[in-house]
Structure 1
């Protein structure tokens, strides 16, 4: 298995088994273009900042309960459970982490 990574300014080209994957960073979105010789598929993944997730959770009625280290814990007056948001305020969250937090809070992702 061969992997070639080329970095030029804001574009990263990754080649795996002679099939190029082009990753372009655009503001708060990563666009992944899978470009085999015939077809081209585009997948866009939203990159969430921690403070954006906190705003969404608080807008849904969740309120801050406690913080341990960098993890903030939220409760809801009606919904059961605790929603935990990790990381420092201005850092990006991994897409699956953000999806999991929104799922815990019972919120459908707006993006």
Structure 2
């Protein structure tokens, strides 16, 4: 066993985890987004990065926009739909019966009935 005062996982001569005085951080800018619930969120972006029109509010999860006087409305929450619900939207009852009859006929033919 080694006995020493070194922190496990560190190495001798490693540099500190703080920025060096000789380097400058990358230029960035702060953009404020406003949601319909009245929250304002300050988000930092790189100076050359394009800012999105909307951002999800970190407090309530609703969309937030750049215009404080006219924030985007609350997003509409779609109810969960099962696979069967989506199939029923695309197919009529007659189509479903025809597809079922065709699948059963193929199954019976494979079984030799």
TM-score > 0.5 by shorter chain:
no
Q: Which has the higher helix share?
A: 2
Q: Which TM bucket (shorter chain)?
A: under 0.3
Q: Which has the higher strand share?
A: 1
